[in-house]
Structure 1
């Protein structure tokens, strides 16, 4: 809860005469206003209006009427704000004198801007600082293999290498992870968490899993109480990853007995297709029966017979 009042310097609270003699304020509304003005700045930041109204005679109904009475008098304002993480927060402003809606909005905007700056600082703590460049022309970018001038490697240090560009699977994986919050607001990941999970998700894509299938695996059947989105996603990426597809055996090349050109035999042939066709044509020209041409059924039967005999 925010306040716009004069902070007390001793163990007492100063109340404006306009509030004391305001007959439009109910006793509960006046008591709620006095309670809010009696809080210190630190305690007011940790207290909500609902907590402040606890103990008023009449229960929730009286507390709700007191809040409406203060809001109608311009002494209490409410608003909602969505932060950078997507979380919606509600905030209240208690004043010691009537304030217009526009003035209250300006105070809320300044307060939320300060909160956003603090959130950005918290998120950038684990990221390296880019630093500042002096005025003038920019130098040519270093490939990453050259040390700065005046520095050299120690005995136990290795030479710096350029950072490889992200693969296509890595880029798609990061997009899938960042878009999970659209399926469930609880699946909000920070930048460092996405960078740690991206290699695992990229391995799924490299094994033939589509982006939509990966999103379904990560969002389906979520528990009712989710304590850590990162831990749940990491567990699913590690333990549910499918097996890598098996590659079919490649038949080795052999040289043709006739033209000596390499070819892949289908069922143990010693000559390539062109040489076999030429031999069949020559045999037909001489009037001989020539080699028998096999259809696909005969070829399958011969290959199966050869496999059974070898086993």
Structure 2
């Protein structure tokens, strides 16, 4: 069976006029003779509806009038759950394809009327215009009335009765039919196309993460002339260890506070030089920006003091003692009796 289907599909593809597309879907379309539904591309290719909502919309449009399209009925028909189908129905209702209203019957029963519109922008009979989103007043001209000229039949001539034989009775003359009153034709409302309200542009989130604000360059508590001189010399000497780190005088002057902050925290010049010259990217386009980032992100904490490194003193522990009366252990600095034995001695006294 699979071979027959493949041969039939190959024969159908050869009958398609023109070259086949190199990629994507290829349509093999045969005209339908029965059991088909016309669906607009505005629904089948809607960019604001989910695939579940589009499928349910096409299914509802293919059903006859009076079919049940509630959440329970659709859940029993399809594999999706009630939550998914309810969300899809709300999407169709938001975009104007589905309308659900409450109505009260004559017996007091409240029912839900479901109306599906295959073109939300078209004018329905009776002046009901489903709109997308908030109601929009249409600026189109009012529908015109088309009056048809109805020809009124002229009254037919009445023939006079001929004299008949004496033996027969003379029939009574027939009454002349009165002309029928002219009835005005029912006005036919021509549907006026209403332009569909344009959808609001959907703002997609940026593909890249938002850039974080640049952290400020660290500064020492007091930029003394000695720190400034040592930091400036270290920055100017970096090109001897890495030829990519050629800095201008302006860049050296800008980075001096960062190096001075490292020196203030008792970082050696060798440690600073290794942190700034290790694992440089190839090629290095902006050496000043790289040094600024490393001076800020790799800043070491201040060295702890001698008292900070001292071990914490443990709290004194009360030793165990053996009770002289009941020989139970209890904590106390002095030997003697436990609390229970002391209470008994006090009562006896």
Give the TM-score taking structure 1 as reference length.
Answer: 0.28
Which structure features the higher share of helix residues? 1
> Which structure exhibits the higher relative contact order, with contacts defined as CA atoms closer than 8 Å and separated by 6 or more residues?
1
Is the radius of gyration larger for structure 1 or structure 2? 2
Give the TM-score taking structure 2 as reference length.
Answer: 0.25
